Amino acid sequence: MAGLVLGIPPVVLDLNQRGLLERAFHDGLFPNLAYRAEAMSEEWPANTGQEIVMSRAGLLTPITTPLTPGLDPIPQAVPYEQWVAILSQLGGAIDTHMPTSVTSNANLFLRNIHQLGLQAGQSINRFARNALFKSYLSGQTLTTFVTAAPDLTLQVAALNGFTDVVTPGGAARPVPVSPSSPLPVTIGVGGTAVIRNVIAAIPNDPNDPFGPGVLTLSAAVGAVFVPRTSVVSAFAPRVVRSSGGPSVDSIGAADTFTLQQAINAVAFLRRANVQPHDDGFYHAHISPLANSQVFADPVFQRLNQSLPEHIIYKEGFIGTIAGVMFFMNTEAPERTNVGTLLSTGTNALYGTEMGADVRNNSAVDIGRTIITGKGVMYEKYLDEGQYVTEAGTTGKTGEFDVVNNSINIMTEKIRLVLRAPVDRLQQVVSSAWSISTSFPIPSDITAPSGPERFKRAIVLEHAQ
C-alpha cells in the first residue's frame, strides 16, 4: 500500500485495512428536507440576464359611493408591485484517488458520490429556508447601544428589512432607502415610542448586508432609548410570539410553543385572503422540540382529553389539526444551524443565515415555526444542460438519485459532474454538483389586508 497512498488525506487512509473492515458503508443521521417543497418551480428563460423582475397587480379600492348624476367615473390607476429573482450558482466538489478506492474494502468513489448528493440536497434546502425566513423575519430588530435624544443614528442588531422599501402607491420595485425613499419605523413601544424615517442603512460587515449595522434617521430620535429597544418597520411581516411581546427579548424560558399560536396564525392568513396549499391545508414546519412542547399545552390536552389511543398520541406527532398540516422539520432554524453567530447584546446572538437573533438577551434560545400558504415562494431555476456546447465535456454529467436510511433525498435540477482524470497518471476523479437557481419571495404590499410587505406566511416565535 505504501506506493499508492502518497498525498492522500489521513481520513481516507483509515479506510484501508489495518485489520478487517466491513465491506459496506452505513448511512449517517440526515435531516428531513422540506422547505424547498414549498416553492412553486419555474424555469429561468435563457438569454434573459441574471435578474428577473416579477410583477403583481394590486386590487382597485372598492367603490361604495353612488355616482353623481351627470358625472363620469374618475379614471383610476392600477397599483403594481415587483420583486426580484437573482440567479445564483451553488456547488461543491470532492476528489477521489481511484487506487485508494479500488484497494479499500468498500467502493470509496460511489460513497463520495452519495455524500455529495446529501450535501447538495441539504444545501439547496437551506438556501430555500434562508430566503423564506429572512423575508418573513424582516423589518424587526433591536438597538445594540444606548440612544440619546439628539442622535441621528441607531446601532441595531440586524439591517434585514431596513435596506430597501416598497411604498404602496409609489415605486413598484423595491428601492434602497434614501432621503427620497424613506422607510417609516417605530422605535420603542407604548407611550414612549417614536416614529422616524430611515434614510440609510450601513452594515458593520459589507459581506453581511443584512446583519448588524447603523440606521440613519431623517430627524433626531428625540428620546433616550436603552439597548435592546425594539425597532420595527411600518411594513414588517406579522410575527406571532408565544409571549405576546414586541420582540424576541420578551420571550422567557416558559414561553413555549402552543397550539393557539398556530390557530392565530391561520386566522391572520385567512383574513389576508391567503389560500391554503393545493392539498387544502396550510403548512407548518415545526422542529421536534416545538412538537414536544405542544403536548404540554393545556389547550391541546383538553382537545385530546380521554383519547390516549388517538393516533396523535401513538405517534407523538401533531399531524393535521385546525386547518394546518404539520411537517416535522429538523432543519428548522435554531442556534446550531444558522451560520456564524454574532453577539448583539449581553447574551443575545444573531444568526447570519436568518437575518435575526437566535438567542435573546435573557439567554433563551429562540425556536421558530413557520406556517405558509399557497404561493409563499418561487424557485426560478436555470437548466444547466444549456452550459454544454458542441465541444462536449471531459467526463460525464448526470443527476443524483440518492437514498439515505430508506429516504429519497430531494435533488431535482441539481447537476452531477464527473470529470475524467486529468492528472498525469489519470488516477484522481473529480466529482462535483451544481445548481443555478433562486428562491424569490413574492410581496403583497398592495393587498388591502394590512401594511405588511410579505403576507403569505407567518413565523411563530417561542422558547426553544
Whether residue 344 contacts residue 363, with contact meaning beta carbons closer than 8 Å, is answered with: no
Q: What is the share, in percent, of the chain residues with pLDDT greater than 90? A: 55
Distance CA 49, CA 244 (A): 44
Provide the grid cell at 205: 460587515
> For the chain, what is the mean pLDDT?
86
**Cβ atoms within 10 Å, residue 133:** 26
Is residue 183 a part of any domain in this protein?
yes
In this prediction, residues 217-244 reach a mean pLDDT of: 96
Distance CA 177, CA 27 (A): 49
Task: Determine which of 188-202, 254-268, 357-371, 420-434 has the lowest per-residue pLDDT on average.
Answer: 420-434
Distance CA 200, CA 179 (A): 8
Q: Answer yes or no: is pLDDT of 423 > 70.
A: yes
In this prediction, residues 358-378 reach a mean pLDDT of: 96
Q: Answer yes or no: is pLDDT of 264 > 90.
A: yes
Is residue 177 a part of any domain in this protein?
yes
β-bridge partners, 7: none
Distance CA 60, CA 37 (A): 33
What domain range is 185 assigned to?
142-234
Confidence of residue 270 (pLDDT cuts 50, 70, 90): very high
In this prediction, residues 176-187 reach a mean pLDDT of: 96
Provide the grid cell at 233: 418597520
Is residue 175 a part of any domain in this protein?
yes
Q: What are phi and psi of 22, to 5 degrees?
A: -65, 140
Distance CA 350, CA 211 (A): 8
Closest alpha carbon to 463 in 358, 352, 388: 358
Whether residue 367 contacts residue 285, with contact meaning beta carbons closer than 8 Å, is answered with: no
Task: Determine which of 59-63, 212-216, 350-354, 404-408 has the lowest per-residue pLDDT on average.
Answer: 404-408
Predicted local confidence at residue 21, as pLDDT = 45
Question: Using one digit for the tens of pLDDT, what is the confidence trace for 10-48?
Answer: 665 555 545 544 555 667 666 777 899 899 988 888 777
Q: Answer yes or no: is pLDDT of 352 > 50.
A: yes
Is residue 209 a part of any domain in this protein?
yes
Q: Answer yes or no: is pLDDT of 1 > 50.
A: no
Closest alpha carbon to 119 in 38, 43, 9, 33: 33
Q: Answer yes or no: is pLDDT of 339 > 60.
A: yes
Domain count, the chain: 1
Predicted local confidence at residue 335, as pLDDT = 94
Is residue 390 a part of any domain in this protein?
no
Q: Answer yes or no: is pLDDT of 163 > 90.
A: yes
Confidence of residue 286 (pLDDT cuts 50, 70, 90): very high
Is residue 146 a part of any domain in this protein?
yes
Distance CA 397, CA 381 (A): 18
**173 vs 391, residue with greater confidence:** 173
Is residue 291 a part of any domain in this protein?
no
Q: Answer yes or no: is pLDDT of 52 > 90.
A: no
Predicted local confidence at residue 362, as pLDDT = 97
Predicted local confidence at residue 227, as pLDDT = 97
Q: Answer yes or no: is pLDDT of 4 > 70.
A: no
Is residue 283 a part of any domain in this protein?
no
Predicted local confidence at residue 328, as pLDDT = 86
Predicted local confidence at residue 173, as pLDDT = 84
Closest alpha carbon to 225 in 197, 194, 199: 194
Task: Determine which of 221-230, 316-325, 370-379 has the lowest per-residue pLDDT on average.
Answer: 316-325
